[in-house]
Amino acid sequence: MTINTKFTALSAAILCAFALSGTASAGALNDPIVEKPISAINEKNWQGLRGGLAYNTEVDSLTRVFSEGFQFIDNKNDGLEDLGGFLGFDFQHGHLVFGIEAQATPQNNPVQGNPTRIHGDLQSLRGRIGYAAGKTLFYGSFGSAQGSFDDAGSNVDLNGQVYGLGIEHLITDHIFIGLSADHYVMSGENIMTASNVESEQTILQLRIGFTF
């Protein structure tokens, strides 16, 4: 075999090796790329501590107080007494979100036509459970509530329940806005008159909060 023949054979072998290497590389490039599904990328974590402010307004047709057999309707709140706050903690398992929340709702609402009867502040401690759809959370709540009613100079402590529905939406990873409707059902005894006071209030809330 001449030198030229050997060189030609070696060149052919090298070219063949490069061709096989290129084919293998092409196959590797064409392998499927495993990516996270879009739903996983869009999932948000609602678990953790959260708190914020709430603007409160009553639904007049669903708010009333019975005292000594008479029904009274609240007037609107005045000024900054519409503002309240909340603090809670949520757990998350898949799309299920559940937790606990404490609320403070300042009020100073004289009843219509009788300014000596005033509906005072509300406090509540409640459980929440909801469904997380990405950045949006739909939830319901139920718990205990306390309030006060100035019944013509005699302060009455009110106790009862609160239940509600709401929706919250994350506008950043740690800031959310929300809307809720809560119905309070409470009662207490006026010691001065030995009469029972019954209270029902429906309150709408606009909420802004932070997750930590």
* pLDDT tens by residue, 105-144: 888 777 777 777 887 889 999 999 999 999 999 999 999 9
Query: Do residues 60 and 107 both lie within one domain?
Result: yes
CA 27 from chain centre, in angstroms, equals 49
Q: Each residue of 163-176: pLDDT tens digit?
A: 999 999 999 999 99
Query: Do residues 118 and 184 both lie within one domain?
Result: yes
Provide the number of structural domains found in the chain.
2
Q: Each residue of 60-92: pLDDT tens digit?
A: 666 777 876 677 766 655 444 678 999 999 999
**Does 38 fall in a domain?**
no
Average model confidence (pLDDT) across the chain: 80
Q: CA 172 to CA 3: how far, in whole Å?
A: 74
Q: CA 59 to CA 181: how far, in whole Å?
A: 9
**Does 39 fall in a domain?**
no
DSSP code at position 34: P
The two counts, helices (H) then strands (E), for the chain are: 2, 11
Query: Do residues 203 and 141 both lie within one domain?
Result: yes
| Structural domain that includes position 11 | 3-31
Query: What is the per-residue pLDDT for 144?
Result: 98
Query: Do residues 161 and 186 both lie within one domain?
Result: yes
Query: Do residues 123 and 23 both lie within one domain?
Result: no
